[in-house]
Amino acid sequence: MIIQSKRIWINGRFSEAQLEIEEGIITRILEYGRKRTDKDYGNLRIVPGFIDIHTHGAYGFETNSADEEGLRRWLRGVPKEGVTSILPATVTDQEEVLLPALRNIRKVVETGYEGADILGIHLEGPYISKAYAGGQPDTHIAKPDIAQFERLQKEAGNRIKIITMATEEDPDFALTRYCHKQGIVVSIGHSAADFRQCELALANGATSMTHVFNALTPIHHRKLGGSGAALRYQDVYGEIICDGNHVSVDTLQYFFRLKGSCRGIMITDSLALKGLPVGTCAKSGSYDVKLHADGSARIKGTQAFAGSTLRMIDGLKLLVEKAMVPFETALNSCTINPARLLREDNHLGRLMVNYDADLVVLHDDYTIAMTYIKGMEAF
Please spell the DSSP secondary structure of 84-141, one letter per residue: EEEEEB--S--HHHHHHHHHHHHHHHHH---SSEE--EEEE-SS--GGG-TTS-STT-
| CB-based contacts of 346, cutoff 8 Å, min separation 6 | none
Q: Quick check: is 269 catalytic? A: yes
Q: Report the candidate in 11, 87, 74 with the shortest Cα–Cα distance to residue 48.
A: 11
Q: Which residues pair with 162 in a beta bridge?
A: 122, 185
Rg (CA), the chain: 20
Q: Which residues pair with 374 in a beta bridge?
A: none
DSSP 218: P
Query: Of these residues, 93, 117, 138, 269, which one is catalytic?
Result: 269
Write down how long the chain is. Answer: 379
Q: Residue 332, SS3?
A: helix
Q: Report the candidate in 110, 111, 106, 117 with the shortest Cα–Cα distance to residue 74.
A: 117
Amino acid identity at 260: G
Kindly list the catalytic residues: 269
